[in-house]
Structure formats: C-alpha cells, structure tokens
C-alpha cells in the first residue's frame, strides 16, 4: 500500500506515534504488529485477552489471532489502519475498536463507548496487573500519608446506588490525561481533596485507570503512582464521604 503517513499521526485526542523513518502504511503495520494484551476483566474470558497482530494481508486488511478475549473483543477477526488509527474489525468488516498510541501501549474506544488499553507483550512473556503494586512490606500508601491504604480503598470506584454515579476522592495533586496512558497529553491537574465523578474504569499493567469528570472537562487518572521512584502511592479512593475512614 502506497499511502503516506506523517511521522506522528494526530486523531483528535489520540495519536499514533510512528517509529523513526516510518512513512508508509506498511511501515506502520510492521511497527504495530506483534503480541498485545489487555488486562481488563470485562474484555477477557478464562485469562487475559491477547491479540496477535499479523502482517499477512487479507482482503484489504491484516490477519490477527486472539486468545481468551471476551465481551466486546470476542468477535475480533482482523485489523487495519482506519482513519489514521488502528482499527480492530469483525469477520464481516465491522469496526469494533479504534486505537492510538505508541509501539508499546495503545488505547481507544470500543463501539459500545467503553475504553480499551492494549500493551505489547515481549516474546514469551505475559504481563500481570499491576506493575505499581504494594511495596516490600505490602503497603500502598494512602496518598502522601504514612498510612497504608486498605484493600477496599484500592478498588475501582463503583456507583453506590441505582441512581448514583461512581465518585472518587483525589488524594494527591493528579494529572488527568486525554487517554489511559502515561504518555497521553495532560488535559488538567486535579488538586488533592477534590471529589470527581467517575464515568468508567479500565485495567492495565500499571493498575486501574478511571475517567474522571469535574467542572467542564474529563480525563483519565491513574489510581497508583510511585513517589520518588520508590514508594507506591494511592492517588484516589472510591467515594467522597469520610475519606479518613478508608485509610
């Protein structure tokens, strides 16, 4: 295919970052082919959903293989570049997902409106959730306090009732990003002590990411971080009432 691409493809809030000197679609196909995985339990069946993007052409698209994929990814059959994004297709060519990112991590929207994060697997390896987990003594600190967060505080925020939206207490000054990736653009910085509404959550190798809404913007926030490259810290906890009780 002779279609030419720029070195950085911009698609709204999502970008496909190309490898050096990549200019053609075939270059991008080679760059993004390989083994990928999502740790989101809603998209898995009997194990983490793994997708192998192949370079073999198939009627205007490229072949792929899946294992343990469920939910909205259960019907994956092929992939191709769609409107400058990675497109995951069903057997009849319907688009199931559009993703952007870099050669190690991509994220984007499923057709049902939810978000998926896929991370590249090194040959013969499998990721586990989450890369940022408890320290040597089993402690993830509750914000910048000296207290360890209880297990219930480390869960994804959930609605408290049939008519309630999920909410979270932000424990540290936290960047909200355009996508559920550490390298995605920052759309806002949320002060500690803010109560945010949570639209949806997903899981990656670095833990839970949730899309938070506050004021007139929304962005993805990561639930765990490292302080000083040493101490695991909980950045937000479910619910907004009596945060002291969650420590």
CATH assignment at residue 161: 2.30.30.40
Residues 140 and 134: beta-carbon distance below 8 Å:
yes
Residue 38 has a pLDDT of: 92
Final residue belonging to a domain, choices 89, 120, 151: 120
- pLDDT tens per residue, range 147-188: 999 999 999 999 877 668 899 999 999 999 999 989 889 999
Q: Are residues 56 and 109 in the same domain?
A: yes
Question: Span 38-43, mean pLDDT?
Answer: 91
Q: Are residues 111 and 184 in the same domain?
A: no
Q: Domain count for the chain, please give it.
A: 2
Report if residue 136 sits inside a domain: no
Per residue, the 3-state secondary structure of 116-135, as one string, reads EEEEECCCCCCCCCCCCCCC
Report if residue 54 sits inside a domain: yes
pTM, entire model:
0.71
- pLDDT tens per residue, range 178-190: 999 898 899 999 9
Mean pLDDT of all residues in the chain?
A: 83
Q: Are residues 112 and 51 in the same domain?
A: yes
* Backbone phi, psi, residue 245, to 5°: -70, -15
Domain containing 108 equals 8-120
Indicate the DSSP class of residue 146: S
Report if residue 231 sits inside a domain: yes
Residue 128 has a pLDDT of: 46
Query: How do strand 231-234 and strand 141-142 relate by DSSP bridges?
Result: parallel
- pLDDT tens per residue, range 193-231: 999 999 999 999 889 999 998 888 899 999 999 888 888
% of the chain at pLDDT higher than 90:
55
């Amino acid at each position: 295919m002779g279609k030419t691409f720029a070195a950085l493809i911009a698609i709204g809030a999502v970008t496909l970052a190309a490898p050096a000197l990549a200019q053609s679609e075939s270059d991008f196909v080679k760059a993004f082919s390989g083994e990928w995985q999502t740790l989101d339990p809603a998209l898995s069946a009997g194990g983490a959903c793994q997708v192998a993007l192949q370079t073999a052409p198939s009627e205007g698209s490229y072949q792929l293989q899946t294992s343990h994929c469920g939910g909205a990814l259960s019907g994956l059959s092929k992939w191709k570049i769609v409107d400058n994004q990675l497109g995951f297709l069903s057997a009849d060519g319907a688009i199931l997902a559009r993703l952007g990112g870099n050669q190690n991590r991509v994220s984007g929207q499923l057709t049902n409106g939810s978000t998926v994060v896929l991370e590249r697997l090194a040959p013969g390896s499998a990721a586990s959730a989450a890369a940022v987990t408890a320290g040597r003594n089993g402690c993830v600190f509750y914000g910048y306090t000296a207290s360890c967060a209880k297990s219930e505080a480390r869960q994804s925020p959930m609605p408290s009732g049939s008519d309630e939206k999920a909410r979270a207490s932000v424990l540290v000054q936290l960047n909200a990003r355009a996508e559920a990736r550490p390298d995605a653009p920052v759309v806002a910085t949320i002060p500690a002590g803010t109560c945010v509404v949570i639209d949806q959550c997903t899981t990656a190798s670095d833990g839970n990411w949730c899309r938070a809404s506050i004021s007139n913007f929304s962005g993805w926030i990561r639930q765990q971080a490292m302080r000083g490259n040493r101490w695991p810290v909980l950045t937000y906890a479910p619910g907004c009432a009596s945060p002291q009780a969650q420590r």
